[in-house]
Amino acid sequence: MDALLYIHKLKLKLEAINRELASLVARKREHLSVMKQLQFPKKEVKVEKAEKGVVVRVTCEKGGDKLVSILEVFEEMGLVVLNARVSSNMYFAMEAIVVAEEEQHALHVKSITEAVIKAIER
Protein backbone atom coordinates (compact mmCIF):
# COMPACT_ATOMS: atom_id res chain seq x y z
CA MET A 1 0.00 0.00 0.00
CA ASP A 2 2.84 2.41 0.84
CA ALA A 3 4.39 1.74 -2.55
CA LEU A 4 1.15 2.68 -4.34
CA LEU A 5 0.87 5.91 -2.36
CA TYR A 6 4.51 6.73 -3.13
CA ILE A 7 3.96 6.09 -6.86
CA HIS A 8 0.81 8.25 -6.81
CA LYS A 9 2.72 11.14 -5.15
CA LEU A 10 5.50 10.80 -7.73
CA LYS A 11 2.89 10.93 -10.50
CA LEU A 12 1.43 14.13 -9.04
CA LYS A 13 4.90 15.69 -8.80
CA LEU A 14 5.63 14.71 -12.40
CA GLU A 15 2.36 16.30 -13.56
CA ALA A 16 3.23 19.52 -11.69
CA ILE A 17 6.69 19.59 -13.27
CA ASN A 18 5.19 19.04 -16.72
CA ARG A 19 2.72 21.92 -16.17
CA GLU A 20 5.56 24.20 -15.06
CA LEU A 21 7.65 23.18 -18.07
CA ALA A 22 4.75 23.90 -20.43
CA SER A 23 4.28 27.30 -18.81
CA LEU A 24 7.99 28.14 -19.18
CA VAL A 25 8.03 27.04 -22.82
CA ALA A 26 4.96 29.21 -23.53
CA ARG A 27 6.61 32.22 -21.84
CA LYS A 28 9.79 31.67 -23.81
CA ARG A 29 7.82 31.48 -27.07
CA GLU A 30 5.97 34.69 -26.16
CA HIS A 31 9.23 36.46 -25.27
CA LEU A 32 10.86 35.45 -28.56
CA SER A 33 7.79 36.65 -30.44
CA VAL A 34 7.98 40.05 -28.75
CA MET A 35 11.71 40.28 -29.46
CA LYS A 36 11.11 39.62 -33.15
CA GLN A 37 8.51 42.36 -33.25
CA LEU A 38 10.94 44.91 -31.84
CA GLN A 39 12.66 46.30 -34.85
CA PHE A 40 15.95 47.96 -34.19
CA PRO A 41 17.41 49.93 -37.04
CA LYS A 42 19.95 47.93 -39.04
CA LYS A 43 22.15 50.97 -39.05
CA GLU A 44 21.45 54.59 -38.41
CA VAL A 45 23.98 57.40 -38.31
CA LYS A 46 22.97 60.97 -37.49
CA VAL A 47 25.47 63.81 -37.43
CA GLU A 48 24.32 67.27 -36.37
CA LYS A 49 26.14 70.54 -35.81
CA ALA A 50 26.16 71.54 -32.16
CA GLU A 51 27.32 74.50 -30.12
CA LYS A 52 30.72 72.88 -29.74
CA GLY A 53 31.59 70.64 -32.69
CA VAL A 54 29.13 68.02 -33.87
CA VAL A 55 26.96 65.38 -32.23
CA VAL A 56 27.33 61.91 -33.75
CA ARG A 57 24.60 59.35 -33.02
CA VAL A 58 25.02 55.76 -34.16
CA THR A 59 22.60 52.86 -33.78
CA CYS A 60 23.29 49.48 -35.37
CA GLU A 61 23.46 45.75 -34.77
CA LYS A 62 25.97 44.48 -32.23
CA GLY A 63 29.07 42.66 -33.34
CA GLY A 64 32.59 43.38 -34.39
CA ASP A 65 34.66 46.24 -33.08
CA LYS A 66 32.24 49.02 -33.95
CA LEU A 67 33.47 51.42 -31.28
CA VAL A 68 37.11 50.91 -32.21
CA SER A 69 36.34 51.41 -35.91
CA ILE A 70 34.43 54.62 -35.23
CA LEU A 71 37.15 56.02 -32.97
CA GLU A 72 39.78 55.20 -35.61
CA VAL A 73 37.74 57.13 -38.19
CA PHE A 74 37.52 60.11 -35.84
CA GLU A 75 41.28 60.00 -35.36
CA GLU A 76 41.93 59.77 -39.12
CA MET A 77 39.67 62.78 -39.67
CA GLY A 78 41.45 64.81 -36.99
CA LEU A 79 38.49 64.78 -34.64
CA VAL A 80 38.64 64.65 -30.85
CA VAL A 81 35.87 63.14 -28.72
CA LEU A 82 34.80 65.53 -25.96
CA ASN A 83 32.09 63.32 -24.51
CA ALA A 84 30.59 59.95 -25.44
CA ARG A 85 27.98 57.47 -24.26
CA VAL A 86 28.04 53.90 -25.54
CA SER A 87 25.64 51.02 -24.97
CA SER A 88 25.60 47.53 -26.41
CA ASN A 89 22.82 45.69 -24.62
CA MET A 90 20.59 44.51 -27.47
CA TYR A 91 22.18 46.65 -30.16
CA PHE A 92 25.13 49.02 -30.45
CA ALA A 93 24.34 52.66 -29.65
CA MET A 94 26.71 55.58 -29.36
CA GLU A 95 26.31 59.31 -28.91
CA ALA A 96 29.45 61.41 -29.06
CA ILE A 97 30.33 65.08 -29.19
CA VAL A 98 33.39 65.58 -31.38
CA VAL A 99 35.42 68.66 -32.30
CA ALA A 100 38.18 69.30 -34.80
CA GLU A 101 41.63 68.77 -33.33
CA GLU A 102 43.00 71.64 -35.41
CA GLU A 103 41.32 74.36 -37.44
CA GLN A 104 42.41 72.79 -40.74
CA HIS A 105 40.20 69.78 -40.02
CA ALA A 106 36.72 70.87 -41.03
CA LEU A 107 33.59 69.47 -39.46
CA HIS A 108 31.59 68.48 -42.53
CA VAL A 109 28.43 66.65 -41.51
CA LYS A 110 28.22 64.70 -44.76
CA SER A 111 31.84 63.47 -44.71
CA ILE A 112 31.62 62.46 -41.05
CA THR A 113 28.36 60.60 -41.71
CA GLU A 114 29.83 58.71 -44.67
CA ALA A 115 33.01 57.82 -42.76
CA VAL A 116 31.08 56.51 -39.74
CA ILE A 117 28.79 54.44 -41.98
CA LYS A 118 31.84 52.84 -43.59
CA ALA A 119 33.33 52.20 -40.14
CA ILE A 120 30.28 50.31 -38.85
CA GLU A 121 30.08 48.25 -42.03
CA ARG A 122 33.60 46.87 -41.53
User: pTM higher than 0.85 for the full model?
Assistant: no
Mean pLDDT, the chain cut into blocks of 10 residues (122 residues total): 91 96 94 74 86 91 87 93 90 92 77 92 84
Distances (CA, A) of 84 to 28, 74, 95, 104: 35, 12, 6, 23
CATH number of 43-121: 3.30.70.260
**Structural contact between residues 95 and 50, judged by C-beta atoms closer than 8 angstroms:** no
pLDDT, residue 37, reads: 67
**Structural contact between residues 98 and 81, judged by C-beta atoms closer than 8 angstroms:** yes
Q: What is the DSSP letter of 61?
A: -
